[in-house]
Structure 1
Amino acid sequence: MKKVSFLLSASAPIMGLSAVAAPALAQDVVFKPIVEARLRYETVDQAGPAPLSSSRDAHAVTMRLRAGGEISKGPWAFLAEAEGTLAIDEDYNSGVNGKALYPIVADPETVEANRVQIQYRTKPLVVTVGRQRINLDDQRFVGSVAWRQNEQTFDAVRVEYMGIKNLKVDLTYAIAARTIWGIDGGKFGSANRPTDIEGDDVFANISYKTKLGTLTGFAYLVDEDEAVVALRRNSSQTYGARFAGAVPFTKKVKLSYLASYARQSDYATNPVDYSADFVTAELGLDVAAFKLTGGCELLGSDGGATGIAGGFAFQTPFATLHKFNGWADKFLTTPGTGIQDYYAGVAYTVPKVGKAGPLVASFTFHRFSSDRLSIHYGDEYNAQVTLKLNKHLSALVKYADYQRKGIASFTGDADTRKFWAQIDYAF
């Protein structure tokens, strides 16, 4: 109740100023509708150790619709957006529907208020209060999980300040994360997949632009105030920095680069005493229509962590995890022995295909191993083709093939093949 009061108090100045301006609202009011739809087919073929070996192939046909609008006048705006997902073919384990014989496709049926926010925005300052979408940097630590049908949003107060040239200060205090598991979260024995996760979370992100790239310092304090031990283990304090930029050599040749380091340790209600490192480095080379990418990422492990057997590793519970460590989603929770992900990829872009375009085809290879104990978990192959059909429609086909090496090294470590076909509409 105190947290709800805090948000109401934080929004009071906005609502008060809006009331003062109420007589003039009939003039210069702008309404922007929100209409988005996505039809997706996803299939999962998963083998491996029992009970996974007895699983049936999953086949999911789901439709997602978002609808709402934003009313704005001057620097003030109010946005409301509803989101619903329908399972047309539910031969899959959504994570909360109890169909445990199928592999998971994390798109449960749901209806919810996805975003409800009041916003004050000027050139130097943006303040957002309410249920909102938050994507920081490349979403490695905080993101909206846009790949899933049900988006992750936050009940939060966010302040973005850009009043000093080349500098941006981005501060958020969140009292809850609205998860991808929807209104049935926590049902059928899935207590660690709740509808929302309450807590006292602070996301601090300060960036400075230079000629060579953007230098960012960050601090993410995650305090998951939940009874479930598996969720409290995600409570952590993470401090780090990243540098990302690009240098053009010619009109058709460009080098891009990224480097980041962070240190994480237990925080608040976490019963595990641990500390672990995060390191990533990536290079990209654009040559005309081709883009080559190579990099490595480490989510380290603390073998001496107290309170849990087998060690404990760096976790990123609020990240857009599907973007990282392979599309088969084998590493959404970092194994206790950590992850080293070495990857290389190539992409090719065709600007026009008749009246459609662009068309982008990509292929990426991952090699996964542990931080400790020299375990080669497996290899993964990812391929994707996207096509912009017109102003409102786009299409996608996508494939992931994870091949386990040796014995299963963590929960869910099994040969897995996934295929997606998808149509998106946005007004």
Structure 2
Amino acid sequence: MSTVIPYRSHLAGLALGALALPAAAQQSFTEDVASMVTDGKLGLNLRYRYEFVDQDGYDKNANASTLRTRLSFQSAALNGFSFLTEFDNVSYVGNDDFNSTTNGKTRYPVVADPKGTEVNQALLKYNWRELTGSYGRQVINLGIQRFIGSVAWRQNEQTFDGYRVQWGSDFGLALDYAYVYNVNRIFGPDDDGAQPDTWHGDNNFLRLDFTFLEQHTLTAFSYLLDIDDRSAWSPNLSVNNSTDTYGAEYNGKLGPVSARIAYAWQADAGDSQLDYDADYYALEGKMPLLGIVAQIGYEVLGSDNGVGFKTPLATLHKFQGWADQFLVTPADGVEDLYVGISGAAGPVNLQAVWHDFQAEQGSADYGSEIDLAATWPVDQMLTLQLKYAYFDSDDSALYRDTQKAWLSVIFNI
């Protein structure tokens, strides 16, 4: 005898099944999202630094003892999505006899490491095949950071709020575009110092790389900065840094010799009160020689109408000497001829660089500089570094003799 299932019971079964499906899907989705956290990675970075500055014109030397504590969390990926959060705290450990740009101690030379706590990075990222997109507060380092960089040398890193899209291909072409509406500068997090802690505006960074042969890459770039005026500071500390920069660069290797050739043209932009256009060009070569690497380079930041070529978003400490005398390009521009050597003594990496600085316009000699560094990566968790820079001025009316020394202890977990 056959059994007939009542019509209402059949509908009830279908309804219960329909309800069970989204409930199961919701539970699965919740578990997947939770796995982004449980499978993520928590990181801790401690960087202690002692910095000494002896600069003519100051009756006191700067002695800065600072600790940068960085706590970060990188999530696992879910369907191409991931997120990163990073918090920084800069504190003083003992001696604070220096001008941090916010503490008012102007009798001392500047060590631009203000204390404070802030969100260093907070971004959402999406990866799909050769495409990567990110939104939020993030580190952006383009090329060798000559024009756009994070200034990671300083305790408070420079980060950028905005969007970024990166695309690569199997045929050597790569595209990198970023729109930035806010720059979090090294002078923060408090907005009460000698420099603005942030620059708001409409900034567009575009790079196109083409690797046409193995170890040979051509790059075209445009960096369009439109920085808003900050009424509490002079135009030269805000809106006058609005520039349009277009350029090209070659990086390659011919046998043992590595080479970099770059050119850029720049003009005022946005609401800048300046009126100029200036050139940038650079030549650099490196070659291994008798167990060391020898380096020679020539870099010129030009001048026009009393305004030097500007690189306000660069990682400036990497260029034109570690004594940081040319963070702002002088009105007559600057020519930097430099030679250097690097190598290793056992586990310790050694570097020495000599610079000669002259005006690009006129005949002024700015001075010369010697830079020395020893870096010891003790293990995966601990790195020790000693650095020294001495800038010898040729014209005390333009620049002052300056000595700087650093001891850094870096600990990673």
Under a length normalisation based on structure 1, what TM-score does the superposition of the two structures give?
0.86
Q: Is 1:318 aligned with 2:313? A: yes
Q: Is 1:60 aligned with 2:58? A: no
1:162-173 mapped onto 2 (5 Å cutoff): 162-173=168-179
AA in 2 matched with 1:148: R
Larger radius of gyration: 2
Q: Distance in 1 between matches of 2:384 and 2:366?
A: 32
> Could you say what secondary structure the match of 2:317 adopts?
helix
Q: Is 1:291 aligned with 2:293? A: yes
2:219 alignment counterpart: 216
1:78 alignment counterpart: 83
> Which of residues 327, 332, 342 is equivalent to 1:332?
327
1:141 alignment counterpart: 147
Tell me the number of residue pairs that the alignment of Structure 1 and Structure 2 aligns.
380
> Could you say what secondary structure the match of 2:76 adopts?
strand
Contact (CA 8 Å) 2:265, 2:278: kept in 1 or not? Answer: yes
Contact (CA 8 Å) 1:87, 1:108: kept in 2 or not? Answer: no
1:263-278 mapped onto 2 (5 Å cutoff): 263-278=265-280
Q: Distance in 2 between matches of 1:87 and 1:65?
A: 11
Q: Distance in 1 between matches of 2:301 and 2:201?
A: 24
> Which of residues 338, 361, 368 is equivalent to 2:357?
368
Contact (CA 8 Å) 2:226, 2:242: kept in 1 or not? Answer: yes
AA in 1 matched with 2:242: S
Contact (CA 8 Å) 1:25, 1:73: kept in 2 or not? Answer: no
Change in CA separation of 1:27 and 1:87 when aligned onto 2, cut-off 3 Å: closer
Q: Is 1:400 aligned with 2:389? A: yes
AA in 1 matched with 2:253: A
Q: Distance in 2 between matches of 1:77 and 1:24?
A: 12
> Could you say what secondary structure the match of 1:182 adopts?
coil
AA in 1 matched with 2:89: G
AA in 1 matched with 2:331: G
Change in CA separation of 1:26 and 1:233 when aligned onto 2, cut-off 3 Å: closer
Contact (CA 8 Å) 1:82, 1:111: kept in 2 or not? Answer: yes
Q: Distance in 2 between matches of 1:132 and 1:109?
A: 20
Q: Distance in 1 between matches of 2:51 and 2:35?
A: 47
> Which of residues 248, 256, 259 is equivalent to 1:241?
248
Deviations for 1:101-135, whole angstroms, at most 9, x for unmatched residues? 00000111010000000000234011010000000
Contact (CA 8 Å) 1:123, 1:162: kept in 2 or not? Answer: no
Contact (CA 8 Å) 2:150, 2:314: kept in 1 or not? Answer: yes
AA in 2 matched with 1:243: Y
Structure 2: stretches of 5+ with no match in the other structure: 1-25
Q: Distance in 2 between matches of 1:65 and 1:397?
A: 20
Deviation for aligned residue 1:22: 4.6
Q: Which moved more, 1:170-179 or 1:204-213?
A: 204-213
Contact (CA 8 Å) 2:248, 2:262: kept in 1 or not? Answer: yes
Q: Distance in 2 between matches of 1:55 and 1:280?
A: 37
Structure 1: stretches of 5+ with no match in the other structure: 1-17, 48-52, 249-253, 306-310
1:14 alignment counterpart: none
Contact (CA 8 Å) 1:111, 1:182: kept in 2 or not? Answer: no
> Which of residues 197, 201, 204 is equivalent to 2:199?
197
Contact (CA 8 Å) 2:58, 2:109: kept in 1 or not? Answer: no
Deviations for 1:307-332, whole angstroms, at most 9, x for unmatched residues? xxxx0010000000000000000000
Change in CA separation of 1:19 and 1:43 when aligned onto 2, cut-off 3 Å: farther
Deviation for aligned residue 1:164: 4.9
Deviations for 1:222-268, whole angstroms, at most 9, x for unmatched residues? 111123411111100000000012234xxxxx210000000000001
Contact (CA 8 Å) 1:260, 1:281: kept in 2 or not? Answer: yes
Deviation for aligned residue 1:97: 1.2
Change in CA separation of 1:213 and 1:19 when aligned onto 2, cut-off 3 Å: farther
Deviation for aligned residue 1:156: 1.1
Deviations for 1:162-208, whole angstroms, at most 9, x for unmatched residues? 14521110000000000101223333xx1xx1121101000000101
2:342 alignment counterpart: 347
Q: Distance in 2 between matches of 1:78 and 1:23?
A: 17
Change in CA separation of 1:142 and 1:20 when aligned onto 2, cut-off 3 Å: farther
> Which of residues 22, 32, 44 is equivalent to 1:24?
32
Change in CA separation of 1:19 and 1:84 when aligned onto 2, cut-off 3 Å: farther
> Could you say what secondary structure the match of 2:65 adopts?
strand
Q: Distance in 2 between matches of 1:240 and 1:97?
A: 39
> Which of residues 88, 104, 108 is equivalent to 1:102?
108
1:37 alignment counterpart: 46
Deviations for 1:319-348, whole angstroms, at most 9, x for unmatched residues? 000000000000000000000000000111
How big is the alpha-carbon RMSD for the aligned residues of Structure 1 and Structure 2? 1.7
Contact (CA 8 Å) 1:55, 1:103: kept in 2 or not? Answer: no
> Which of residues 96, 110, 135 is equivalent to 1:90?
96
1:3 alignment counterpart: none
